[in-house]
């Protein structure tokens, strides 16, 4: 009956662990291919952990045809049972390299040298081959090009020139007369950041995203041991939409008055106030690939701290529904219904209606 939030259902306390105690190494949700988290070529090693026995992690990176990449997965916590191994997939989910575990002694160190057969995204699936498990143990993951003459770094993000929103899956390339093009992508899972390790010099930076005009920036200077930041604005091919000057509404006001806010980049739906029986919660749900939302965190709040006259409600009557009167998404307000699935923490999109202004 009580199936929505962790304070009511003890099992959810376990789900909240990665979002509190281990926030500094939190890349969750990343335990399936559709939730793969970005890892940039040549960037610092990422610190990951397995949240439970049998957990698996998925990472995604962009590779250039003919370039040889080093994929390094390492754990120094083998005494605690962490011995990672991994499988490499292409965009079609075809296996490039089957379970890679050269260090059968259990020392937790794997290093694969692999040449990309084509431009595109590739997925790394990491599992724990250790016989034991400790929730405090971790491993690091990094992707780099061996012996690359990198001395500086170009980092930034890409936004829509009209809406000012971060754009995902933009291909970013940097080249000069001395080296082949170095490519990365914004991916779009988090904040749309790209990262290009480069040698010292001046570069031409170009971007490519379907539906947008290509943008080329020349004379971008990369200094030794220094991070160069760059924000790139892309213009839609159709240009910016004409916004009527009549009956305009401040989007900030709409967002503030909504009880739910959906972020299109991260795919997270935040509910400011949800009433479940006589209890009140704040909650976050992560959008899945099949128009479903998975509960990823929930926090009880006191009655005295709430001010909303139209909160969201969890309706226990079959089928269990989450009724959300106002959701701010895509610069509009919507009425939304989420229906509980067989999995208590996953909800399908039952009904969406635009609120006319």
Q: How far apart are CA 290 and CA 99, in angstroms?
A: 28
Over 70: is that where the pLDDT of 105 sits?
no
CB 314 within 8 A of CB 271: no
Are 124 and 61 a contacting pair, CB within 8 Å?
Answer: yes
Residue 14's pLDDT band (cuts 50, 70, 90): very low
Distance, in Å, from the CA atom of 158 to the CA atom of 111, rounded to the nearest integer, reads: 32
- According to the model, what pLDDT value does residue 80 have? 62
Distance CA 221, CA 119 (A): 26
Q: What pLDDT is stored for residue 240 in this prediction?
A: 84
> Residue 200: is the preceding peptide bond cis (ω within 30°)?
no
Average pLDDT, the chain: 80
DSSP lists the bridge partners of residue 110 as: 73
Q: What whole-number percentage of the chain has pLDDT above 70?
A: 80
Residue 275 has pLDDT above 60, yes or no: yes
User: From CA 26, how far away is CA 17, in angstroms rounded?
Assistant: 10
DSSP state of 30: -
Cβ contacts of 277 within 8 Å, gap of 6 or more: 2, 314, 316
For residue 312, the model assigns a pLDDT of 92
CA 171 to chain centre: 17
| Domains defined along the chain, listed by start | 31-144 (2.60.120.380), 152-234 (2.60.40.1120), 251-354 (no CATH)
Which tops the pLDDT comparison, 123 or 163? 123
The span from the CA of 277 to the CA of 279, in Å, is 6
Q: Is pLDDT of 24 > 60?
A: no
State how beta strands 179-185 and 109-115 pair: unpaired
pLDDT digit string (tens) for 114-149?
Answer: 999 998 889 999 998 877 777 777 889 999 887 776
Strands (E), 129-239: 139-144, 152-160, 171-176, 179-185, 193-198, 201-208, 215-222, 227-234
- Identify the pLDDT of residue 143: 92
- CA–CA separation, 158 and 218 (whole Å): 16
Q: Residue 235: which of 296, 283, 305, 163 has the closest Cα?
A: 163
Residue 354 pLDDT class (50, 70, 90 cuts): confident
pLDDT digits (tens, 9 = 90+) for 331-349: 888 999 999 988 778 898 8
Residue 23: the pLDDT is 35
Give me the DSSP letters along 109-148.
EEEEEEE-SSSEEEEEEEEE--SS--TT--EEEEEE-TT-
Q: Is 350 exposed, middle or buried (0-12, 13-18, 19+ CB in 10 A)?
A: middle
For residue 79, what are the CA distances in angstroms to 102, 130, 284? 18, 9, 35
Burial classification of residue 311, based on how many CB atoms lie within 10 Å of its CB (0-12 exposed, 13-18 middle, 19 or more buried): buried
Among 35-49, 174-188, 249-263, 318-332, the range of highest mean pLDDT: 318-332
Q: What is the C-alpha to C-alpha distance for residues 165 and 176, in angstroms, rounded to an integer? A: 29
Helix (H, G, I), strand (E, B) or coil at 345: coil
Of 12, 111, 8, nearest to 343 by C-alpha is 12
Structure tokens at 313: 């409600």
């Amino acid at each position: 009956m009580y199936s929505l939030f962790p304070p009511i259902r003890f099992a959810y306390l376990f789900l909240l662990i990665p979002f509190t105690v281990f926030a500094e190494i939190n890349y969750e949700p990343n335990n399936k291919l559709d939730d793969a988290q970005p890892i940039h070529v040549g960037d610092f090693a990422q610190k990951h952990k397995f949240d439970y026995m049998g957990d698996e992690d998925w990472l995604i990176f962009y590779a250039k045809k003919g370039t040889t990449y080093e994929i390094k997965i390492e754990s120094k916590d083998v005494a605690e049972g962490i011995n990672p191994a991994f499988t490499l997939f292409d965009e079609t989910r075809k296996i490039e390299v089957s379970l890679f575990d050269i260090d059968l002694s259990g020392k937790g160190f794997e290093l694969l040298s692999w040449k990309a057969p084509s431009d595109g995204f590739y997925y790394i699936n990491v599992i724990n081959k250790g016989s034991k498990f400790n929730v405090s143990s971790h491993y690091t993951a990094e992707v780099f090009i061996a012996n690359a003459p990198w001395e500086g770094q170009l980092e930034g993000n890409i936004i829509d020139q009209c809406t000012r929103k971060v754009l995902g899956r933009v291909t970013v390339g940097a080249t000069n007369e001395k080296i082949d093009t170095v490519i990365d992508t914004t991916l779009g899972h988090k904040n749309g950041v790209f990262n290009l390790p480069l040698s010292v010099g001046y570069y031409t930076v170009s971007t490519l995203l379907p539906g947008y005009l290509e943008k080329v920036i020349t004379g971008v200077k990369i200094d030794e041991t220094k991070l160069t930041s760059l924000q790139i604005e892309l213009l839609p091919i159709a240009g910016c939409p004409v916004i009527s000057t009549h009956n305009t509404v401040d989007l900030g006001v709409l967002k503030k008055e909504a009880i739910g806010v959906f972020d299109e980049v991260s795919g997270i739906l935040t509910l400011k106030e949800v009433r479940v029986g006589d209890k009140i919660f704040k909650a976050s749900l992560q959008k899945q690939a099949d128009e479903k939302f998975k509960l990823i965190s929930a926090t009880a709040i006191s009655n005295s701290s709430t001010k909303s006259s139209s909160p969201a409600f969890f309706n226990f009557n079959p089928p269990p529904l989450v009724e959300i009167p106002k959701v701010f998404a895509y610069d509009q307000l919507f009425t939304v219904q989420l229906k509980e699935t067989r999995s208590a923490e996953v909800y399908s999109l039952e009904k969406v209606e635009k609120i006319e202004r």
